[in-house]
Structure 1
Amino acid sequence: MQRSLRHKTIIQALGEGEVRVVDLMRLTGASSITIRRDLAELAAVGALERTHGGARRPLKRGAPMPFASRREADQHVKAALARRAAVLIADDESVILDNGTTCYSVAQELAGRPLTVLALSLHAAAALASRPGASVSTPGGPVETDTLALVGSAAMTAVLNFRADVALLGACSAAPEDGLTSTTFEDAELKRAVIAASRRRILVTSAGKLSRTASFRFGDPADLTHLVTTADAPADALHAYRCAGVEILLA
């Protein structure tokens, strides 16, 4: 079983109580060494708490999957979205690249091209800078553990002082009736600044997020110029985006 799927299975198995290593071995078909390594990785990012012989759900709800696990999940989908989004970017343009695993895939696709990029995560910045071509910068200020996203007032100032031809955005949720939303206030504030600083705004997201919503709104469908999503996106959501004047590209 792929690591990202094992991690997802482990978190789902936690439920409301404690789960033992032996139970997780049975669920995943993995060895005890592999399961204990998975538990250590998940505990390091706060997704669970280790116990004697197993793990339990953390006291804090809503802990995210580790970045590495999310990056591994649905790689072919994210790669297809990245290729579709990349055609909307012309050489020598200035770009703001959002954080998140889908935008990380976009960074990999854009690596080597002559662009000026403000990357809002160190993961994306490293992917872009791995090949000669792009001029890559990052905001100052705090860096989130695991996601390596740049956060805080320094990131906000850097975005507002950057005039972008195009912004590539991710979203936790993008149901058109509820708008573009994020799970944290700080991320929503930063995304709102990205929209204000960019001439073209491209949301790159999987189909499932077009029927979800989160707590903090950072924009409306009409704030976008383009939506890049997958062909299985719900027809009613695509219709709502088109009615808002958004050009849609399907991967």
Structure 2
Amino acid sequence: MFVEERKSKILEILKNSHRIQVNDLTEALEVSESTIRRDLQDLEQAGLLKRTHGGAVKVEHTGFEATMGEKQLSNMEEKTEIGKRAAALISDNDTVILDAGTTTLQIAKHIRSKNVTVLTNSILIASELSQNPDVHIVVTGGYIRRETVSIVGPLTDKIIQSFRVDKVFLGTNGITLQDGYTTPNLEEAHTKRVMMKSAKEIYIVADHSKFGRVSFARFANLEEVDGIISDSGVDQHMVDKFASKNIQIIYS
């Protein structure tokens, strides 16, 4: 296989999986580890991917945002895993904010505690929770962003500011040690920030693909949250890095 053909194959694999590992590429392409690392270095210099410890991830513009339909098809097994793990942190009689998103939707699907009150800016989450007789639902006002089916804007923020809750669970499009937690949309970033100010405990819910990504608007610094709830696919090297900053990643 020629060099350019091999690099093209690497990009094709990355397009379908979002994240690739060096050892997997050596087996798939039947070349040495050093060859793969040189290829990844060349592709990173060309701006076609970003190298990580042991592999590489896709490069996306900071303003990029997938549609709700695309998000619902992405990493659903992992999001379900996270949803169950996060829901287990919700106790009887808790008051909770659930941010709009496909991962937080999975939390709503797996709440088993009694007499829980949930404030949300998501029509999809409100609809899901309406099937659970043990959950009281409060939906914010505001206007709907079609891209994420979330309710945002000044009215949304004003309503959230009038509440105080035990826990908030927030989705994110990107997490890095340098930039904290980021999202593509300014209004959603502001709403997330308001949600954080209303909660005693703050949790980020994010599958492993969100680590190493950066979006346009930062809504929180690393140390402002009580924990990151992720899936078993999160890289151990990443867990150790965040632990060195006293940030707990809950993933097993």
Q: State TM-score, norm by structure 1.
A: 0.71
Q: Which moved more, 1:181-190 or 1:138-147?
A: 138-147
Alpha-carbon deviations, 1:36-58, whole Å to 9, x = none? xxxxxxxxxxxxxxxxxxxxxxx
Query: Which residues of 2 match residues 2-81 of structure 1 at below 5 A?
Result: 64-81=65-82
Change (3 A) 1:204 1:186: same
CA shift, 1:62, in A, is 6.1
Match of 2:185 in 1: 184
Match of 2:158 in 1: 157
- Report the 3-state secondary structure (helix = DSSP H, G, I; strand = E; otherwise coil) of the residue aligned with 1:218: strand
Which runs of structure 1 show a deviation greater than 6 angstroms over 4 or more consecutive aligned residues? none
- Report the 3-state secondary structure (helix = DSSP H, G, I; strand = E; otherwise coil) of the residue aligned with 2:175: coil
Match of 1:89 in 2: 90
Q: Which moved more, 1:140-149 or 1:166-175?
A: 140-149
Q: State TM-score, norm by structure 2.
A: 0.71
Q: Distance in 2 between matches of 1:146 and 1:154?
A: 19
CA shift, 1:133, in A, is 1.1
CA shift, 1:161, in A, is 1.1
CA shift, 1:202, in A, is 0.8
CA shift, 1:213, in A, is 0.6
Q: CA RMSD in A?
A: 2.2
Q: Distance in 2 between matches of 1:170 and 1:221?
A: 14
Match of 1:205 in 2: 206
CA shift, 1:174, in A, is 1.0
Q: Distance in 2 between matches of 1:178 and 1:246?
A: 14
Alpha-carbon deviations, 1:149-176, whole Å to 9, x = none? 0110111111111101000010011112
Q: Distance in 1 between matches of 2:130 and 2:212?
A: 34
* 1:176–1:237 Cα contact (<8 Å) kept: no
Q: Distance in 2 between matches of 1:69 and 1:127?
A: 19
Match of 2:195 in 1: 194
Match of 2:149 in 1: 148
Match of 2:119 in 1: 118
Q: Distance in 1 between matches of 2:237 and 2:159?
A: 37
Q: Distance in 2 between matches of 1:171 and 1:144?
A: 16
Read off the aligned partner of 1:183 and give its amino acid letter. P
Match of 1:130 in 2: 131
* 1:140–1:150 Cα contact (<8 Å) kept: yes
Change (3 A) 1:240 1:155: farther
Read off the aligned partner of 2:180 and give its amino acid letter. G
CA shift, 1:140, in A, is 0.8
Q: Distance in 2 between matches of 1:232 and 1:148?
A: 27
Change (3 A) 1:65 1:121: same
Q: Distance in 1 between matches of 2:223 and 2:105?
A: 25
* 2:230–2:251 Cα contact (<8 Å) kept: yes
Read off the aligned partner of 2:125 and give its amino acid letter. A
Read off the aligned partner of 2:243 and give its amino acid letter. R
Q: Distance in 1 between matches of 2:185 and 2:72?
A: 20
Match of 1:235 in 2: 236
Gaps of 5+ in 2: 1-11, 16-61
* 1:226–1:247 Cα contact (<8 Å) kept: yes
CA shift, 1:209, in A, is 0.7
CA shift, 1:74, in A, is 2.4
CA shift, 1:146, in A, is 5.1
CA shift, 1:203, in A, is 0.7
Q: Distance in 2 between matches of 1:171 and 1:90?
A: 23
Q: Distance in 1 between matches of 2:179 and 2:238?
A: 11
Identical residues among aligned pairs (%): 24
Read off the aligned partner of 2:214 and give its amino acid letter. T
CA shift, 1:226, in A, is 1.4
Change (3 A) 1:224 1:164: same
Alpha-carbon deviations, 1:222-250, whole Å to 9, x = none? 11101111223233432343234333211
Read off the aligned partner of 2:109 and give its amino acid letter. Q
* 2:152–2:187 Cα contact (<8 Å) kept: yes
